[in-house]
Amino acid sequence: MITYEEHRLRSLADEGRWIELLGAYRQARAAAVALDLSEGGAGGGAAHERAAVATAPLGHLIAYAAPPEVAARLFDRDGGPGTAAGARDHDAGPLWEVLATRHCWRRLAPLLGPPPVRRLVAQTRVLLGEDLARDAEPDPEGVPLLLEPWEAVGRAERSPVREYLRDGGSRSALLTLPASREGLAPVELPAPGAPLPGQPATRALAELAGWARAVCVRGPAPRAAAQLAPGRRVTGGYLPFALVWPALVQAGVADRAHGAAHGRLALWRVLTAMTGVDGPPAAVRAEVEALIARMRCFTWEDPADRLRHLHLALEDPATGLSWAVSGSEDV
């Protein structure tokens, strides 16, 4: 049932009265924060999270349909305490990702203030194919502001960025590994390799896909896969990293408060940790490129798979190490 207030807000949107809608959003968000505090809520971040839920549909509409000069002000603090959307405010997806899918970086760059939101918007524009290498400030972790060739190939195959709808909701392909049986065959896995504890890349891989298990072994990819596969005989095969990339990026989108930019940043942390290099961004990037060029990627099926699943082993022939990540869940 559509309430009077919802009808009024939709009418304002249809009439293009976006400044009034922004004011209504700020007023509602601040009131929700104040109500939580007055009722003895925990305050702080918890109050803002509940306020974000209450105002999410209106925030989504503004981020999607308002002119960028208005939509970017969702994240400004000039409206007073409790009025600004944060990096975790979301409806069908984070409000900053909705905004990023609607306008190019040149229109958004002069308007965005908060560094976390600004960074995530820039990374989303990169995922959508924009080259920001000269137009945006360097990423704090040195993540490139232009898709690498293997990322561009993966994006052309399957994009991990959601497609948002004006009145709420989104469309997104469910990216899994393996995506199908094409190119796979019966494989007899070798004996599992002994786990190597304490590897930074293993921790980074576990953080990327928090719903999956991760392990590192010394030896080829199938020995790592054998640690997590359901048995010695599986249906599996090798894939180029470019075809693996979209599913790994989407694995980092843990919930609706996360966007594809979170997945890309998390995956670059994994790859950087695998190289073991800690240096200038240009040096790290060169090592990651070399790693991708030599990496072997093995995937396999699990009969118990649920809707979302990821089964992948990544082998670095130069170091003799392989990492495997495996898990499934309903979404």
In this prediction, residue 263 has a pLDDT band, given cuts at 50, 70 and 90, of: very high
Amino acid present at 126: V
Q: Which of 111, 118, 270 is nearest to 203 (CA)?
A: 270
Q: Tell me: pLDDT of 274 over 90.
A: yes
Q: What 3-state DSSP class applies to 230?
A: coil
Mean pLDDT of 255-282: 94
Mean pLDDT of 237-243: 95
Predicted local distance difference test score (pLDDT) of residue 2 = 46
Q: Tell me: pLDDT of 319 over 80.
A: yes
Q: What is the 3-class SS of 162-226, one letter each residue?
A: CEECCCCCEECCCCCECCCCCCCEEEECCCCCCECCCCHHHHHHHHHCCCCEEEEEECCHHHHHH
Q: How far apart are CA 100 and CA 147, in angstroms?
A: 16
pTM of the model: 0.93
Mean pLDDT of 163-190: 91
Domains parsed from the chain with CATH numbers? 4-146 (no CATH), 185-329 (3.40.1000)
CB 210 within 8 A of CB 255: no
Average pLDDT in the chain: 91
Predicted local distance difference test score (pLDDT) of residue 304 = 86
Q: Tell me: pLDDT of 328 over 60.
A: yes
Predicted local distance difference test score (pLDDT) of residue 36 = 61
Predicted local distance difference test score (pLDDT) of residue 262 = 97
* 76 Cβ contact list (under 8 Å, min separation 6): 84, 113
- Residue 309 has phi, psi (to 5 degrees) of -150, 155
In this prediction, residue 241 has a pLDDT band, given cuts at 50, 70 and 90, of: very high
β-pair type (233-239, 296-300): antiparallel
Whole-number percent of the chain with pLDDT over 70: 94
Predicted local distance difference test score (pLDDT) of residue 157 = 81
Predicted local distance difference test score (pLDDT) of residue 285 = 94
Residue 132 burial (C-beta neighbours within 10 Å; 0-12, 13-18, 19+): buried
Per-residue model confidence as pLDDT tens digits over 281-300: 899 999 999 999 999 999 99
Per-residue model confidence as pLDDT tens digits over 52-85: 788 899 999 999 999 999 999 999 999 888 899 9
Predicted local distance difference test score (pLDDT) of residue 1 = 35
Q: How many Cα neighbours within 13 Å face the side chain of 48?
A: 11
Predicted local distance difference test score (pLDDT) of residue 47 = 64
Predicted local distance difference test score (pLDDT) of residue 7 = 74
Structure tokens given for 104: 């190019």
In this prediction, residue 44 has a pLDDT band, given cuts at 50, 70 and 90, of: low
Dihedral sign (CA 150, 156, 159, 161): positive
Per-residue model confidence as pLDDT tens digits over 103-162: 999 999 999 999 999 999 999 999 999 999 999 999 999 999 999 999 999 888 888 999
Q: N- to C-terminal Cα distance for the chain? A: 27
Question: Token match 């490139």: residue?
Answer: 144
Quote the DSSP letter at residue 132: -
Structure tokens given for 221: 């990819």
Q: What is the 3-class SS of 243-301, one letter each residue?
A: HHHHHHHHHCCCCCCCCHHHHHHHHHHHHHHHHCCCCCHHHHHHHHHHHHHHCEEEEEC
- Residue 295 has phi, psi (to 5 degrees) of -65, 145
Which conformational region is residue 275 in: left (phi greater than 0), alpha (psi within -120 to 50 degrees), or beta?
alpha
Predicted local distance difference test score (pLDDT) of residue 27 = 92
Q: By mean pLDDT, which of 36-45, 97-106, 188-197, 210-219 is the weakest?
A: 36-45
Predicted local distance difference test score (pLDDT) of residue 240 = 95
